[in-house]
């Protein structure tokens, strides 16, 4: 004769208490809801914007993951001006773009992957990329260019007021 299972297994055993056939059987989701909620993950090849530090405002690519808070990033330097170094994840803003590279890829491999998939151009075409480009252009304006911009804005505002006054 077989010994009966311990008391803690009896309640969960499928043989002893099968669910009634008229009730639906609820099953847990295969993936947690957090996986569906987040789309940008820290992974090798992920394009990111550096938000703090000496390279702030430059684009980089995650090359390797050191621990839960730090990653190794690389520009590559010939493309974005960022040399390979370690940095905290909290200083990065992840983008939707990911290059197809393996963990710890060399700079040449990374550069070729970025060129092949045209990732920098794709990011530049997004509204985020256009905003960064406009901010950079505004920051590099000379005093005379700022003056011309101010005059153009005044003229535009005057024309709009004149048109609205007619109606």
Residue 14 confidence (pLDDT) above 60: no
- Yes or no: say if 101 and 91 are a contact pair by the CB < 8 Å rule: no
147 lies in some domain: no
151 lies in some domain: no
Residue 36 confidence (pLDDT) above 80: no
Tell me the C-alpha to C-alpha distance, in Å, between residue 28 and each of 18, 25, 31, 33, 138. Answer: 18, 10, 9, 11, 52
**CATH classification at residue 99:** 2.30.30.30
> What is the per-residue pLDDT across 124-165, written as a single tens digit (0 to 9) for each?
999 999 999 999 999 999 999 999 999 999 999 999 999 999
Range of the domain at 43: 36-140
pLDDT band at 38 (very low <50, low <70, confident <90, very high): confident
Query: What is the pLDDT, as a whole number, of residue 7?
Result: 63
121 lies in some domain: yes
Q: How many domains does the chain have?
A: 1
160 lies in some domain: no
Nearest to 117 by CA among 92, 97, 94, 93: 97
> What is the per-residue pLDDT across 95-109, written as a single tens digit (0 to 9) for each?
999 999 999 999 999
Higher pLDDT, 146 or 166: 146
What is the three-class DSSP state of 88?
Answer: strand
57 lies in some domain: yes
């Amino acid at each position: 004769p077989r010994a009966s299972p311990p008391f803690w297994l009896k309640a969960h055993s499928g043989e002893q208490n099968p669910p009634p056939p008229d009730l639906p059987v609820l099953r847990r989701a295969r993936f947690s809801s957090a996986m569906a909620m987040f789309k940008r993950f820290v992974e090798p090849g992920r394009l990111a914007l550096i938000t703090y530090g000496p390279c702030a405002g430059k684009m980089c690519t995650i090359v390797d993951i050191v621990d839960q808070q730090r990653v190794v990033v690389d520009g590559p330097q010939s493309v974005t001006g960022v040399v390979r170094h370690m940095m905290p994840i909290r200083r990065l803003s992840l983008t939707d773009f990911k290059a197809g590279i393996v963990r710890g890829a060399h700079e040449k491999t990374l550069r070729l992957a970025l060129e092949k998939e045209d990732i920098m151009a794709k990011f530049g075409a997004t509204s985020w990329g256009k905003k960064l480009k406009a901010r950079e252009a505004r920051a590099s304006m000379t005093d005379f260019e700022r003056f011309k911009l101010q005059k153009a804005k005044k003229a535009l505002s005057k024309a709009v007021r004149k048109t609205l006054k007619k109606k």
